[in-house]
Amino acid sequence: MTARMPLMAANWKMHFTADEAVALVKELNKGITRFDGREVVVAPPFTALAGVASALASSPIKLAAQNCHWESQGAYTGEISPSMLRHVGCDCVIVGHSERRQYFGETDESVNRKIVALVEVDLGCIFCIGETLEERQAEKTLEVLAKQLIGGLEGLGEEQAGKLVLAYEPVWAIGTGHTASPEQAQEAHAFIRDNLVKRFDNAVANQIRILYGGSVKPDNVDELMAQPDIDGALVGGASLKADSFIRIVDFEG
């Protein structure tokens, strides 16, 4: 099996002014000492990207944006293109986050268009999928994940797919304090990887990292990271304080 480098990503959502974001990333730069065998990414709001990129100039921490548009330019007021994000210093972009789907009407089709656009400009992509509480209670979790995978990966070849990072985020566990048990998370991750094997092949499926997102905290990260198909974490609330996210990056798994 291909060794997969764990990836710990901080999604700051709609928090922090540019100055506040820079101050936090400076704390992370000083406080994170374990970059061996793990990759660290921070995703500030758009207004803080340039300042954070400058603060990370000599740091191993990588920079992500929280969203993008699929067009390279045009009359799309309020939108940001992949090429703009690349120019400001981003290494990757989060797409398909459940909050984008829930509040802003994103669909599997629009998520796919963003993924294709990112691949075209050689930007990394963290592609999010996950089920709602109602879907889990109706025992539709695996059906939902399969549908989102099919839609999001439409038109991608093996080489393109191999550059993606997936994130499984059960919607019912985001910002609620509830976390999928390690066994629940592992079941979903294993299902996702099996679907990747069917869609591509073993080699591609085993090199794609699958992150867990959903109330990851310092006190549960070790157990989650011990699961064989969990390759990292997409962290929301617990990434808003330096000491909390540093402990998550410093997981033992």
Provide the residue count of the chain: 253
Helix, strand, coil content of the chain in percent (nearest 5):
45, 15, 40
Per DSSP, 237 falls in state G
Mapping DSSP to helix (H, G, I), strand (E, B) and coil, where does residue 48 land?
Answer: helix
pTM higher than 0.85 for the full model? yes
Q: Is the per-residue pLDDT at 2 higher than 80?
A: no
pLDDT of residue 117: 98
- Residue 169 placed within a domain: yes
99 is an active site residue: no
Q: Is the per-residue pLDDT at 29 higher than 60?
A: yes
Read off the pLDDT of each residue in 222-250 and give the average, rounded to a whole number: 97
- Residue 46 placed within a domain: yes
pLDDT of residue 253: 67
pLDDT of residue 175: 76
- Residue 110 placed within a domain: yes
- Residue 135 placed within a domain: yes
Write out the H or E segment, with its range, that includes residue 176: none
Rounded CA-CA distance 127/27 in Å is: 27
Number of domains in the chain: 1
pLDDT of residue 1: 44
Mapping DSSP to helix (H, G, I), strand (E, B) and coil, where does residue 124 land?
Answer: strand
The tens digit of pLDDT for each residue in 89-123 reads: 999 999 999 999 999 999 999 999 999 999 999 99
- Residue 2 placed within a domain: no
pLDDT of residue 5: 97
- Going by C-alpha positions, the residue among 46, 125, 43 that lies closest to residue 80 is 46
Q: Which of 39, 99, 131, 169 is catalytic?
A: 169
- Residue 164 placed within a domain: yes
* Residues spanned by the domain of 93: 7-249
159 is an active site residue: no
Q: Which of 97, 99, 106, 131 is catalytic?
A: 97
Residue 52 sits in a domain whose CATH number is 3.20.20.70
- Residue 20 placed within a domain: yes
- Residue 1 placed within a domain: no
The tens digit of pLDDT for each residue in 141-188 reads: 999 999 999 999 999 999 999 999 999 999 988 877 777 899 999 999
